[in-house]
Amino acid sequence: MGNDLITALIDVVGENEGLTGREYAKYLNSNGFPDINKHIVNSALYKNRNIFLPNFDEIGRPAWTIKAPYHRQAHVPLSFPEIIKQNATGDQRVSHYIPSVGFLDEGIEWNPRLELYPWQVRALNQWQRGGFIGVVEAVTGGGKTRLAIGAMEAHLKRGWKVGIIVPSKELQRQWYQVITEHLNKKLGTDYKIGFLGNGFKQSLTYVDILIAIAKSASVSRMLPKGQKGLIIADECHHYGASSWAKALENGFDRRLGLTATYERSDNGIERYLNKYFDEVVYTLDFEEALSEDIIAPFKVGFLGVRFYPHEQKEYDKVDGECRKLRNKLINEYNLDAEPFEEFMRQINRLADGGSGEGTMLARRYKSAMIKRRDIISNAMQKMEAISLLAPAVRSAERSILFAQTKEATRKASAEMKKAGINSEVLDSDMSMDERKTVFAAFEDGTHELIAAPLLLDEGIDVPSADLAIIVAASRSKRQMIQRMGRVLRKKKDGRMARIVILYVKNTVEDPALGAHETFINEITEAAGDNVVTFDINDDSEEITEFLNTW
């Protein structure tokens, strides 16, 4: 974000302290500046915490104030037309929110028979404005794959080849099913679909569409020389790893990246992805998805618990070590304190850096973080709180419980069984056949709840559920969006999705202390009045009534 925009925000926040980023955006919009939106404002506020101070409420929504000595009279801000003009090319988050003005001059139109959502048309138009190169971010369940079908169809009928790279064979299968259903069958086309990886070694020499697993695409050429090609990278954040980046073949002139959140904990975005995809051209968040009736309306319940004395003592010791190491790394190795994602990217780079003192400190910090996470994940009161949620599980169509570790997952599932819930654990130790058996029983209602650690976060086709219980909230925004996406698909009977987030009070996962920052702000804004914070000592009937009423 440019210095001129920061100066202008200093002016606006200094004059109107105590508002949210969304309210500042509305304030600017009401003065005739539609290109300034909450995403731009929130990004600037969070990235400049040396200037702007968030005061979090009990569910983590910030009201912003300004730090001394940043006072309005000390600055002469630019007018907002000047800011827009100066940032139109310099800031990737400005131009892609301009409302759609129709199709562009080249003649590419998105087939109306595909019945794309309005946001998908807007996103494709923005991608086209960017020279058919860019990344589209969209919340899980928002329709990224269908958007890609629109891009594919427009190019295939003009004789272009299409390569699709995916992280896993499961996603390879899912893409084949979607292409077959929504392109060949729906439109009556007969484009040839080929595969690379999972025992196949085809290329775009002989097929129109090639669905390639990234590992295989990294060592094989997909597009023949001289052929026009469009590449679609599903879950494109993966390809910021040095080995996976080799799958990003330079022969493709047009490039579309798809992801729920364009972020990594290392420097892979800057080192590989931005060089290939240039920038994010469109972002679909929860609020926009709700406004277009793409996802189910949802409510969020935060359920706070506490440590027992022996847990508190263990947590304080490890947390103290984390804080001491963090301060040392920031002060002596010039790491950025905020935002947290950038701090962790720098930590990971330093941890991989060799054998110096900084590398050792970074590794110690990561180890202490894992210990702290495990203490929080396995808090005894979290397991006790799970039984309070059993009545909500009984009234749900299907429920999914997320934990961070296998141990916590098994404990949580056992607590549900004690409460009379037919619960099944799903983890990476199971074979694919065993997982399919669990999913089948979940689909037909035999299992009321499945409990999983990281296995369901990405790339797994899970039967639709309407209640998510998050026992340990991840600090990764992408992981949290993936988890919520498991229950946000629209329900045939119109019921709301329900999300319960358990947290230990006065720890790094407490929303009132700023945990999860922009993610919590985003979901609570979208949920509106359907957000309530509970305590483990609250009446279980009150919690059940909130979750079961829609």
Question: What pLDDT is recorded for position 548?
Answer: 82
- Which residue ranges of the chain lie beneath pLDDT 70? 1-5, 28-39, 43, 47, 56-61, 68-107, 454-463, 473-476, 516-518, 550
Do 79 and 186 belong to one domain? no
- Whether 268 and 198 map to the same domain: the answer is yes
Q: Does residue 337 sit within a domain? A: no
What is the rounded radius of gyration, in angstroms, for the C-alpha atoms of the chain?
24
Identify whether residues 433 and 500 lie together within a single domain: yes
As a whole number of angstroms, the distance between CA 339 and CA 265 comes to: 12
Same domain, 90 and 125: no
Same domain, residue pair 67 and 188: no
- Written in H, E and C, the secondary structure of 88-154 is CCCCHHHHCCCCCCCCCCCCCCCCHHHCCCHHHHHHHHHHHHCCCEEEEEECCCCCHHHHHHHHHHH
Domain that holds residue 140: 112-291
Amino acid, single-letter form, for residue 50: N
What CATH number has the domain bearing residue 54? 1.10.10.10
359 is a domain residue? no
Find all residues with CB under 8 Å of 97, minimum gap 6, and list them. 35, 37, 39, 40
Structure tokens at 350: 């330093």
Q: Are residues 396 and 420 in the same domain?
A: yes
Say if 447 falls within a structural domain. Answer: yes
CATH number at residue 421: 3.40.50.300
Choose one of 95, 129, 148: the last residue of a domain.
95
Count of domains forming the chain: 3
What local confidence, expressed as pLDDT, does residue 75 receive? 37
pLDDT at 72: 44
Q: Is residue 344 part of a domain?
A: no
Region class of 532: left (phi > 0), else alpha (psi between -120 and 50), else beta:
beta
pLDDT at residue number 539: 80
Whether residues 87 and 63 share a domain: the answer is yes
> For residue 20, is it within any domain?
yes
* Phi, psi for residue 40 in degrees, rounded to 5: -65, -45
pTM assigned to the model: 0.75
Are 160 and 240 in the same domain? yes
86 and 149 part of one domain: no
Q: Assess whether 234 and 123 both reside in one domain.
A: yes
The answer to whether position 427 is within a domain reads: yes
Looking at residue 457, what is its pLDDT? 44
Could you read off the pLDDT of 24-64 as tens digits, one per residue? 877 766 655 556 666 677 767 776 777 888 776 665 567 88
Degrees to nearest 5, angle at CA 399 with 395 and 402: 145
Residue-wise pLDDT tens digits, 282-301: 999 888 888 888 888 999 99
Please tell me whether residue 17 adopts helix, strand or coil conformation.
coil
Residues 165 and 74 in one domain: no
Question: Are 506 and 437 members of one domain?
Answer: yes
